A = this chain, B = another copy of it.
Amino acid sequence: MERVQLAEDLSFSRVIHGLWRLNEWNHAPEDTLDLIEYCLELGITTFDHADIYGGFLNEELFGKGLALKPELRNKMELVTKCGIVFPSPRRPQYKSHHYNTSKKHIIESVEHSLKNLHTDFIDTLLIHRPDPFMDPAQVAEAFTELKQEGKVRYFGVSNFKQHQFNMLQSYLDFDLITNQIEVSAYELENFDDGTINLCQEKGIAPMAWSPLAGGRIFSSEDEKAKRLRAALTKVAEELHADGIDQVLYAWLLVHPANIMPIVGSGKKDRIKKATEAVHLNLSLDQWFEILHASMGHEVP
């Protein structure tokens, strides 16, 4: 599978696997290991986590699978996030739902992630959400310390708009290497508001969460979803694609911004279909036909 170079000594697989729902799959550690190995065989080497996924559980579930075959660690890139807290039996110290991007919290969260993931280092740490209470100087101190100690190799953000990205970047001595954003043919906001343009300007590849719009396209009866289903079905037929989800992945993959979609499924056939989408060459006509269906009108 194609890879995306994010730094001199870091690349991600073009399609990324996301562990957001790992706790829902009722996996024994052996099952998790099996899924990891299946992804690696397909060329998916990048795994996306967050401290909070599964109520602070999923990193640990993944780590238990990886612990069965620790030599796989060097064949993968681990991404995780921090900065959100909420009450949970696993984090009794958190009293309410809010953000926390203090130096102390970032470092403690990474320590948890390292332990839970059974690893000595995180390949890329992301600030999960733009924090209205962020002190960028504290984030910079935390990042610098974690980098110097070898605990985190690279840093990025998630769901940041331009001004939030630029503010944090201005406090750092090294480049943020990605912005993980919600983007799909259904959710165009980051195309419209300059978030993707800023990634292109900075030369960084965005990670895309909910590339299938959380399933809304498949089942929702809103007008946008209906228009999109029709356009996607037409293009799927034209390209002999294996379902409209493949076209949704391909719609992101052919975009010049090097968007890396995150596949959040635990089912092997669905993961495989996503990886095969890299071979679907949508024409410009088809790309815009899908865009127009989403917007409800043509471009001016």
Contact = CB atoms under 8 A, between A and B. Distances in A.
A284 B94 CA distance: 11
A299 B163 contact: no
Nearest to A257: B135
Contacts of A162: 163, 194
Interface stretch (A25-33, A61-69, A195-203): A195-203
Contact of A300 (B129, B138, B198): B129
A136 to B, nearest CB: 6
A287 B133 contact: yes
Interface string A70-103: 0000000000000000000000000111111010
A164 interface: yes
Contacts of A21: none
A133 B284 contact: yes
Given A134-B256, A256-B135, A161 B194 contact: yes
Copies in the complex: 3
Nearest to A289: B96
B194 A133 contact: no
A201 B170 contact: yes
A216 interface: no
A191 interface: yes
A291 interface: yes
Contacts of A188: 132
Interface string A193-227: 11001101100000000000000000000000000
B298 A164 contact: no
Contact of A99 (B134, B198, B288): B288
A24 interface: no
Interface string A130-155: 00111111100000000000000000
B299 A99 contact: yes
14 contacts: A95-B285, A98-B285, A98-B287, A98-B289, A99-B299, A102-B284, A133-B255, A133-B284, A134-B200, A137-B256, A138-B256, A162-B194, A164-B194, A166-B197
